[in-house]
């Protein structure tokens, strides 16, 4: 999870089930509660504090973070919790200072100990991520709970995730649902999506795709991109709703345009295969490229295939090799096998059967059926390795166990010898 901000922004990590909402309170709100208190007092010291808080607030709003630090730090050192929160945020984000997670954690802890919910939330995030502190899920859970019990909706959501995934606590779907529902009651779209996922997967509730769809739709209506992707998945599969490729494409495009890599990859696949549209290699290449340039290994491999075959792009073996290599270096078995095939053929590279076997073996180690079959062929034919029928049969049998369609026939040929 990442620090959160009242601007409603979101950063997503891992797979679509897991998302990290982040925020830090809008700078103009850092000093709001103190200003309200000070307005009721007439003491010179408090008037001076009021002026400094106003100065810090004004500086934060204008982006003059160095001035904000000068105004807020003395107040923070005097024990003002809201100023401590502000200083913590400046260090956390590197506003006006070099980012320093340890220093951020120090100031946020001071504010959190005095009951500032936003500081408690961000401190929980730092403990969960190991930012400026030793990663400690139990401590993260404790800070989330303190903020959640004050009604902080992002902390309620994050606490639900901790219970769902068993991080710092024994996994408990009922407890996760409780916290998600509290967050949903305050309208947090990430919690609406999380609740939808619980219904989709039957976690703590009876599986109900239609109910899941309602929650995804509610989150998507608030602009949550991953929920838009979830709606695309539902319409594409006809899960909880009548199958509708046009609707699926519409939701995927909304999510893809907002940077959801899974949606970009799916649009590439649908364009390439002509799913819900006429097949269009150029459109497939466009979507695959967006996802591939963001580091998505499956899209890198798919884009490599388009260059290999010249579908939607000018055939270019060197480009195919480069995209296969990017995906292979991330451990994608399909790409490792494809790169091995290019070395075996000498396509885009100098032919090198030993190098081909090296890459194919990497894919076979992941039980990729095609790589297992290809490695068996290499041993059967003595291509890149010494000919060895026993090894050939071993790898071909493993390919057959993974469902490769031609492996059984090869096995029969061996057995007839």
Residue 43: its pLDDT value, please? 57
343-376 burial: b if 16+ Cβ within 10 Å, else e:
bbeeebbeebbebbbebbbbbbeeebbbbbbbbb
Q: What is the pLDDT along the chain (417 residues), one digit of tens a residue?
A: 434 433 333 322 222 212 223 233 333 333 333 333 334 445 566 667 777 777 787 887 888 999 999 989 999 999 999 899 999 999 999 999 999 999 999 999 999 999 999 999 999 999 999 999 999 999 999 999 999 999 999 999 999 999 999 999 999 999 999 999 999 999 999 999 999 999 999 999 999 999 999 999 999 999 999 999 999 999 999 999 999 999 999 999 999 999 999 999 999 999 999 999 999 999 999 999 999 999 999 999 999 999 999 999 999 999 999 999 999 999 999 999 999 999 999 999 999 999 999 999 999 999 999 999 999 999 999 999 999 999 999 999 999 999 999 998 888 887 777
How far is Cα 292 from Cα 186, in angstroms, rounded to an integer? 37
Residue 337's SS3 state is helix
Residue the block writes with tokens 């109900």: 208
| pTM given for the model | 0.83
Do domains 1-135 and 347-417 share one topology? The answer is yes
Residue 51: its pLDDT value, please? 78
Q: How many degrees, rounded to 5, is the angle at CA 164 between CA 195 and CA 265?
A: 65
Domain topology for 1-135: 1.25.40
CA dihedral over 69, 70, 72, 78, signed as positive or negative: positive
Tens digit of each residue's pLDDT (9 = 90 or more) over 114-147: 999 999 999 999 999 999 999 999 999 999 999 9
Residue 301: its pLDDT value, please? 98
Structure token digits, residue 256: 């893809």
Residue 417: its pLDDT value, please? 72
Residues 6+ apart with CB under 8 A from 239: 200, 209, 213, 233
Tens digit of each residue's pLDDT (9 = 90 or more) over 299-347: 999 999 999 999 999 999 999 999 999 999 999 999 999 999 999 999 9
Residue 44: its pLDDT value, please? 63
Domain topology for 347-417: 1.25.40
How far is Cα 340 from Cα 324, in angstroms, rounded to an integer? 10
Residue 58: its pLDDT value, please? 80
Residues 6+ apart with CB under 8 A from 33: 82
Q: Give residue limits of the domains in the chain.
A: 1-135, 347-417
Tens digit of each residue's pLDDT (9 = 90 or more) over 230-251: 999 999 999 999 999 999 999 9
Residue the block writes with tokens 């053929």: 345
Structure token digits, residue 250: 């519409």
How buried is residue 188: exposed, middle or buried, by Cβ count under 10 Å (0-12/13-18/19+)? buried
In total, the chain counts a number of residues equal to 417
Residue 45: its pLDDT value, please? 63
């Amino acid at each position: 999870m990442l620090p959160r901000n009242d601007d409603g922004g979101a950063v997503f990590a891992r797979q679509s089930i897991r998302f990290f909402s982040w925020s830090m309170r809008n700078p103009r709100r850092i000093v709001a509660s103190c200003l309200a208190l000070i307005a009721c007092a007439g003491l010179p010291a408090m008037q001076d504090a009021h002026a400094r808080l106003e100065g810090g607030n004004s500086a934060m709003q204008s982006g003059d973070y160095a001035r904000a630090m000068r105004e807020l730090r003395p107040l923070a050192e005097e024990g003002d919790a809201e100023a401590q929160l502000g200083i913590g945020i400046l260090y956390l984000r590197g506003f006006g200072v070099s980012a320093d997670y340890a220093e951020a954690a120090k100031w946020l802890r001071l504010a959190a100990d005095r009951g500032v919910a936003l500081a408690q939330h961000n401190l929980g995030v730092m403990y969960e991520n190991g930012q400026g502190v030793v990663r400690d899920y139990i401590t993260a859970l404790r800070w989330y709970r303190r903020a959640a019990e004050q009604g902080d909706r992002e902390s309620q959501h994050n606490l639900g995730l901790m219970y769902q995934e068993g991080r710092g606590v024994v996994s408990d779907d009922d407890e996760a649902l409780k916290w998600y529902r509290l967050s949903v009651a305050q309208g947090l779209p990430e919690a609406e999506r999380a609740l939808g996922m619980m219904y989709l997967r039957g976690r703590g509730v009876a599986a109900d795709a239609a109910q899941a769809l309602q929650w995804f739709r509610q989150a998507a209506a608030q602009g949550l991109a991953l929920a838009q992707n979830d709606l695309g998945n539902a319409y594409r599969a006809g899960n909880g709703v009548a199958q509708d490729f046009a609707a699926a494409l519409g939701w995927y495009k909304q999510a893809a345009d907002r940077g959801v890599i899974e949606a970009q990859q799916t649009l590439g696949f649908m364009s390439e295969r002509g799913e819900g549209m006429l097949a269009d290699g150029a459109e497939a290449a466009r979507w695959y490229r967006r996802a591939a340039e963001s580091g998505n290994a499956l899209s890198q491999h798919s884009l490599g295939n388009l260059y290999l075959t010249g579908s939607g792009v000018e055939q270019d073996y060197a480009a195919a090799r480069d995209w296969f290599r990017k995906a292979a270096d991330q451990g994608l078995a399909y790409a490792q096998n494809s790169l091995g095939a290019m070395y075996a053929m000498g396509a885009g590279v100098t032919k090198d059967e030993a190098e081909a076997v090296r890459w194919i073996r990497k894919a076979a180690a992941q039980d990729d059926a095609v790589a297992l079959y290809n490695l068996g062929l290499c041993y059967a034919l003595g291509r890149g390795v010494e000919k060895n029928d026993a090894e050939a049969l071993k790898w071909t049998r493993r390919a057959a166990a993974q469902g490769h369609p031609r492996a059984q026939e090869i096995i029969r040929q061996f057995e007839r010898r």
